[in-house]
Structure 1
Amino acid sequence: MATTTHHDDPAPGSTGTPGTGMLARAFAVLRALAGMQQDGARVTRLAKTVGLTQGTVHRILQTLIVEGMVEQDEQSKLYRLSVDFFALAAQAGNPNGLRTLCRPALLRLCASLGDTIFLLAKNGFDAVCVDLCEGPFPIRSFTGDIGGRVALGVGQGSLAILAFLPEAEREEIIRFNVPRIRGYGVLDEVYLRTEIERVRQLGYAGRSSGVLDGMAGVAVPVLDRNGIAVAALSVGTLASRLGDDRLPMVVELLRRQAEAIGPQTNPFDAALRRPMQALAAVAVSERIG
């Protein structure tokens, strides 16, 4: 009786060297998943995209799941790249992280302006203070110290981030946050949408919101290569120090630093995806060090 031996599909671009075929196929599947990350993917779609049989793709996916690089939703059965994959990419792509990348800019701005400088990052429906450099003037802020958070849309820094998020994401956040921000008194949906449009036109958020008496601030978004806000640089100061004569200079200094930082940000950085977890990791590292 004749027997048949199963052969996997030839790997796209494979050199034929033992072991490279499976590795090439695995990378092809990972790249395809990266392009389908938002919606997730089924085996049939992946197989068609990478030019392999469904059986081969299924075996590769199961291996990648065991290695922690891919996850499958229990209900939808859709495959996506895992959190561990992004954490690995973050370590490789930017070992120093957002805080280290931005720290020199915070120090320069604080020294030049003599005011407190905040670095904020998006965390779900909130903005989190990832780092700050304190100036000589006693101030109050919405986020307070490092690790403090505020609903996106409240305060200049979080408003600068919200205004430059993709439209669909921005609308979802507005719907969710409007009931939360009403507790601040002067804020409602009309006000929020008006301010967002204003920030998008000007390129910055400022000055006094009227919520913190005697305080004022101005913030600019840190935009990635696609023009989407990944963070914000914000100045917090006394209202008397941010008049019409000084505002343009402050905005220009913030903008220069933000424009220099933006292209260097790593989209896989844990501080951008999960800033609270990243802060916890930094705290542990500092204690060990």
Structure 2
Amino acid sequence: MLDLLARKGAMGVRAVAQHLDLPVGSTHRLLEDLAAERVVERNEAGDWQLAYRLLEITDLQMDGIQLPRLARPFFDAMAEATRETVNLNVLSDGNCICVDKVRGNEGMQLDWRIGTSSPLHCGGSAKAILAYMSEAEIERVAQGPLPEFTAHTITSPDALKAELGRIRQRGYAIDAEEMVLGIMCVGMPIFDRAGKPVGAISISGPSHKAPGESVQHLVDMLSNACGQVSRALGYIGGWPPTHLSARN
């Protein structure tokens, strides 16, 4: 079944059952069991597709997952120019999951393993994604739990929502040692054809990062990469995403 979804992409339960020559009811139960383990998930159309949980299990990029393939051409140049780590993260099952990375040359790096899952309330990529999710989704995340990783982690619902507003105003997120002391990050979202945030690219390392001119060279690189990847996914909205509000 997983091989079928990897080859064919998103499919309805009847199509899966037909390909596997199984009863629809049995196929639906199998898919529900896999969904409970976060191996498959349903998309907006109600079809079944592979979930990024597979990367946590295998550390492999599945052929049917587009984002790593689309984003990778930008990674080497960005890592070489910044000497820091470039990460690709996706939104899956209410978490931010690392699905690809290229390490820079700095001695101290944020070296997430591919498949690492983190919450949405902290980190450059996670906050860049969360800022453009729906108001209901933002409210759900803000109500917690909001675990504290360092003294810089945002753990207040009001403070988190205020930070997300600032992210939407400037179009990128800053992680100032929220996840790991000594590591700072700049992240920007990636949108799909429906204008939904589906992932983010971030640049992380030990260099100081704060909103403004000091990170503009990083923002410019991220904007180029995230804009092109978003367009390749069918996004037709304006860019950069400074004008966008949280989705209704």
Pick closer, same or farther for the CA change 1:71–1:136 going to 2, 3 Å.
farther
Q: TM-score, normalised by structure 2?
A: 0.65
2: CA distance, partners of 1:82 / 1:211: 35
| Distance verdict in 2 for CA 1:100–1:66, change over 3 Å | closer
Per the TM alignment, residue 64 of structure 1 is displaced from its structure 2 partner at its CA by 5.0
1:191 equivalent to 2:142? Answer: no
Consecutive unaligned residues in structure 1, runs of 5 or more? 1-33, 38-60, 75-79, 88-93, 268-289
Give structure 2 stretches of 5+ with no counterpart: 1-10, 30-44, 51-62, 236-248
Give the 3 Å change call, closer, same or farther, for CA 115–71 of structure 1 in structure 2. farther
**Correspondence list, 1:189-268, <5 A:** 189-209=157-177, 212-240=180-208, 245-265=213-233
| CA positional deviation for 1:192 | 1.3
Mapping 1:94-109, distance limit 5 Å: 97-109=66-78
Q: Equivalent residue for 1:67?
A: 18
Q: Relative to structure 2, which stretch is displaced further, 105-114 or 181-190?
A: 181-190
Report the TM-score, using the length of structure 1 for normalisation: 0.57
Three-state SS of the structure 2 residue aligned to 1:214 is: coil
**Residue equivalent to 1:53:** none
Considering fraction of residues, name the structure with more helix. 1
Q: Spell out, residue by residue over 1:200-231, the C-alpha distance to the aligned partner (whole angstroms, 9 max, x if none).
A: 11110015145533321111001223332111
- 1:145 paired to 2:113: yes
Identity %, equivalent residues: 22
Aligned residues: 192
* 2:109–2:206 CA contact under 8 A, matched in 1: no
With 216-225 and 63-72 compared, the bigger mean Cα shift is at 63-72
Contact 1:140–1:212 under 8 Å retained in 2: no
Is the 8 Å Cα contact of residues 103 and 109 (structure 2) preserved in structure 1?
Answer: no
Are the counterparts in 2 of residues 71 and 82 from structure 1 also a CA contact under 8 Å?
no
Alignment correspondent of 1:281: none
> Structure 1 residues 64 and 200, CA, compared in 2 at 3 Å: closer, same or farther?
same
Q: Deviations over 1:102-121 (max 9, x none)?
A: 11111221122222101000
How has the CA–CA distance of structure 1 residues 240 and 228 changed in structure 2, closer, same or farther, with 3 Å as cutoff? same
